Chains A and B, each alone.
Chain A
Amino acid sequence: MTQSEPIFRLEGVTHKYGDLTALDGIDFVAEDNSYIALLGPSGSGKTCLLRVIAGFEKPDTGRIWFQGRDITDLPAHERGIGFVFQNFALFPHLTIFENVAFGLRNGALKISAAEITDRVSSAIEMVGLSGMEDRSPDQISGGQKQRVALARSLVLQPKLVLLDEPLGALDANLRERMQTELRAIRERLDVTFLHVTGSETEALAMGDQVAVLDKGQIVQYGTPEAIYDSPALSDVALFLNRFNLFDGRLDGAIFEGPFGATPVSSVRANTSDVYAIRYDRTRIFDADVVDLPGPALPVRYLASEYLGSSIVFLFETEDRKTVEVDHHLSLGEPRDLTVGEKYTLSWDPAQAIVFGKETAR
């Protein structure tokens, strides 16, 4: 990725609602012209962060820089940052055309009627809604509303567009199509999208960069690959929903877990000792097999879920913890398992990620 001027920068941004700290000293630098996914569980402060950047809320402390300018004290309508609301927030009394034209007609700049018509028409065409200009928002579908909301922001040619769970209100089918389309639209324009989502699949699929927000702090920022392959904290791993996590005790270079004691090569700093292995790196063996690739975790088979390209097997450990194994069907037919039977799970220890309280290593 090329080095470019950051589009926006947050310096120690903190925001509290009463006693609740929604944002806790966030430092963040966003590259220009990129798709950034902001991933966080509900209550992590992700919507609050967007609202602070947009100017709907003022941070208690910290500064916000946008295109090299400190905009912390600038009111929302002077910031020139687009915002797409989860419920789209279209103006119900205006036509699609007038919705898109709103920012051009009512902004600080005086724009000629001919230019407004031109720009609005091309924005509507870009999102594929030509011919619907005269409809009112209650006459169009959810996906179309989403496009109008997007066109309404993009027509002002912002450098940064904030999207607050933009796909949350759409059904699964439409969500996938809009994912592709959002990326395509962004690539055509020189604009940065900051896309807030609670869905890890959406974040990993859409972002050039993914920022993980937890308890008001950005705990990890990197490419989807980096985050997927090496989550910085056990909470990130938990939230990615791709890892079997085992609590245990780390003692020097030995991790003691439900699978016995196993040597570990590297440890990441964390608030507790956790051993993580990806679902698709976990393998199934018969209970009596002895030449395992690594630790042996005795389990009981519960059920499987067929997902088209892969099968998810669910097991239960002796202390009643559910463990998942993801078998991709391109790797061959899965083995037949009997519900209730005992099996052994194992994996290559080199592929495990170990988090530990001891940060010495």
Chain B
Amino acid sequence: MSAATPSRETSNTVRLLAPGVVWMILFLVAPIMMILYVSFWTQTTFAINSTLTLDSWKNFFGSEAYVGALWTTIRLWLIVLSLTILIGYPAALYVGLLVKSKTVSTILLVLCVIPFWTSFLIRVLAWRPMLGKEGAINIILQKLGLIDSPIEVLLFSELSVIIGMTQIYVVFMVGPIAFMLGRIDRNIIEAARDLGAGFGRIFWKIVLPLSLPGVVVGSIFVSVMVLGEFATSGALSGRKVNLLGNIIVTQVGSLKWAMASVVGVILTILLGIVVAGFLRIVDLKREI
């Protein structure tokens, strides 16, 4: 081959990359830049103009309600993430490792996905008749005589938001973990047993490290979705829990584009930090 090869290769690479790059610039990079830009615009009650100002940013960090929403978002995210891991990991362990038949484990995974056959909003709203003052849980507990008066904290509280989000997102944790667990060679676990390791040792030294990439991928899925959430908190908190997502919705609703952009930028940065942090735990490139 002649000296033309490298340059031809380069031009081929450029041609293959171009559509994707153009798409990403138009629909990802440009909008994000626009949001960043708009966050510095001047907002008046009924209009917005492109005079640059830090007012919206000062407004955000000066307001207890906004900063509180940031902390609520982080707190709820950490709680929901922990719960999805705590509930999802054992389920994945069962589906991916303890069930010996591949058919059964596929059936179980499909069962996990069945709730997704109904729309997101219905899944969220279905929690109301479950958790309400006269909802299924309270009625059953009262009939059993375990409680005298209904538990009110179940619905329209932070707890109901946590319950709802955990139920909706736990499957995104189960899937990737079960997949990684399913790839573990059974002989490896038997070899560890043969070398004298008991169940606990095998879990901590073999099973957990080998399934960690699944936990990281699941955590990224759950984090991205929970951090941007507004519907579950809107429907199940009775407006008591305000997440960054809810603020964006209300600000956009009242045409406060600059403030909505500030929150959007903060949310994007937060997501970037979280995802980058997870990727530092495991080298995902090695797993693909």
Contacts and interface: CB of A to CB of B under 8 A. Distances in A.
Interface of A: 54-56, 75-83, 85, 87, 89-93, 102-103, 106-108, 149, 152-153, 156
B196 A77 contact: yes
Contacts of A90: 188, 191
Contacts of B191: 83, 85, 89-91, 149, 152
A91 B194 contact: no
A107 B194 contact: no
Interface of B: 185, 187-188, 190-198, 201, 205-206, 209-210
Given A85-B187, A89-B187, A93-B210, A106 B193 contact: no
Given A89-B185, A89-B187, A91-B188, A82 B194 contact: yes
Contacts of A106: 192, 195-197, 201, 205
A91 B196 contact: no
Contacts of A85: 187, 190-191
A54 B206 contact: no
Contact of A107 (B196, B206, B210): B196
Nearest to A51: B190
Given A92-B210, A93-B209, A106-B205, A156 B187 contact: no
A131 to B, nearest CB: 23
Given A76-B193, A83-B194, A89-B190, 10 more contacts: A54-B194, A75-B193, A77-B196, A77-B197, A77-B198, A87-B187, A91-B192, A92-B210, A103-B196, A107-B197
Q: Which of B195, B196, B201 has the most CB of A within 10 A?
A: B195
A229 B187 CA distance: 38
B196 A156 contact: yes
A102 B194 CA distance: 11
Q: Which of A55, A75, A76 has the most CB of B within 10 A?
A: A76
Contacts of A78: 196
A83 B190 contact: yes
Contacts of B188: 89-92
B206 A91 contact: yes
B129 to A, nearest CB: 46
A81 B191 CA distance: 11
B190 A103 contact: no
A41 B193 CA distance: 28
